[in-house]
């Protein structure tokens, strides 16, 4: 496949001589964390600044994901890029790709995925650390933004698969918040209706232990577009609570 370059950033990459696979592969950068190894290869993430804009550059060699549709495996970045493209087409707020390319060297697959850094956004994990110190109006705005994001995701017929606080990024806008997703590697079509939806949302509840029942009702109210005390919200709260207790007891 030919390399993908976002039209909005192509001129920027060309000015810095970084509009090709070889140039991005050989670029010397410090990794933001330890490389991941296993799955028959390695994967590393780097931070890149160009003319005041931040990007994350990910490079991998080998490091395959195996699925029923691809039992022999595919590069994990190939799957992530495909899902980023799918989210964009479905208008689900998510990280944006700047460059994607792949090749084979000595029989091993290599890939590069470059995305825009979410500078000015905060992951929900960091907001949860200060949850009880936040003003009630701020907490409610965050909960509504997360619920609306989940509604858009599932209404588009997609299951995120890792709907965790670390994958939900928020940015204050006026009196509310914008929200978007990262970590799209496990995205798949929503096939089993409410069962899939509950399974997708429950891990978020489990990872937000400071959320009260009232908080979860605000989230579900936005997700279901219903009143916080509605019969539908009551039913969903019951199902999520039951699954949360079941998972916690394992």
pLDDT tens string 163-222 = 999 999 999 998 899 999 999 999 999 999 999 999 999 999 999 999 999 999 999 999
pLDDT of residue 107: 78
Instruction: Enumerate the β-bridge partners of residue 99.
Output: 5, 114
> Which pLDDT tens digit goes with each residue over 164-176?
999 999 999 988 9
Interhelix angle for 213-224 vs 231-249, to 10°?
A: 120
Task: Say if residue 58's pLDDT is above 70.
Answer: yes
The overall average pLDDT reported for the chain is: 93
Please tell me the predicted confidence (pLDDT) of residue 43: 86
pTM: 0.92
What are the structural domains of the chain? Answer: 4-116 (3.30.200), 122-249 (1.10.510)
**What's the mean pLDDT in 110-118?**
97
Largest CA distance in the chain: 61
DSSP the chain: -PPEE-TTTHHHHHHTT-SSHHHHHH----BSSPPEEETTEEEEEEEEEETTEEEEEEEEES-EE--SS-TT-EEHHHHHHHHHHHHHHHT--B--EEEEEEEEETTEEEEEEEEE--TT-EEHHHHHTTGGGS-HHHHHHHHHHHHHHHHHHHHTTEE-S---GGGEEEEEETTEEEEEE---TT-EE--STHHHHHHHHHHHHHT-TT--HHHHHHHHHHHHTS-TTSHHHHHHHHHHHHHHHHHHH-
In percent, the amount of the chain with pLDDT more than 70 equals 93
User: Given this model, what pLDDT does residue 169 score?
Assistant: 98
pLDDT at 71 over 60: no
């Amino acid at each position: 496949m030919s390399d993908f370059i976002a039209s909005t950033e192509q001129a920027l990459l060309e000015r810095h001589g970084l509009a090709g696979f070889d140039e991005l592969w050989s670029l010397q950068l410090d990794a933001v964390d330890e490389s991941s190894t296993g799955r028959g290869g390695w994967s590393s993430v780097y931070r890149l600044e160009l003319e005041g804009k931040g990007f994350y550059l990910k490079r991998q060699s080998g490091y395959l994901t195996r699925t029923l549709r691809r039992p022999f495996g595919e590069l994990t970045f190939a799957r992530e890029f495909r899902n980023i493209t799918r989210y964009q087409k479905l208008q689900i707020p998510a990280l944006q790709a700047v460059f994607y390319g792949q090749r084979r060297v000595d029989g091993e697959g290599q890939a590069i995925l470059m995305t825009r850094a979410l500078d000015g956004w905060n992951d929900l994990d960091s907001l949860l650390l200060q949850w009880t110190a936040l003003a009630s109006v701020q907490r409610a705005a965050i909960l509504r933004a997360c619920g609306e994001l989940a509604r858009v995701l599932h209404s588009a017929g997609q299951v995120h698969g890792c709907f965790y606080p670390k994958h939900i990024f928020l940015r204050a806008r006026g009196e509310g918040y914008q929200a978007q997703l990262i970590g799209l590697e496990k995205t798949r079509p929503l096939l089993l209706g409410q069962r899939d939806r509950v399974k997708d949302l429950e891990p978020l509840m489990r990872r937000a232990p400071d959320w009260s029942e009232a908080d979860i009702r605000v989230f579900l109210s936005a997700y279901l577009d219903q009143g916080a005390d509605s019969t539908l919200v009551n039913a969903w709260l019951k199902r999520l609570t039951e699954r949360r207790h079941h998972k916690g007891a394992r």
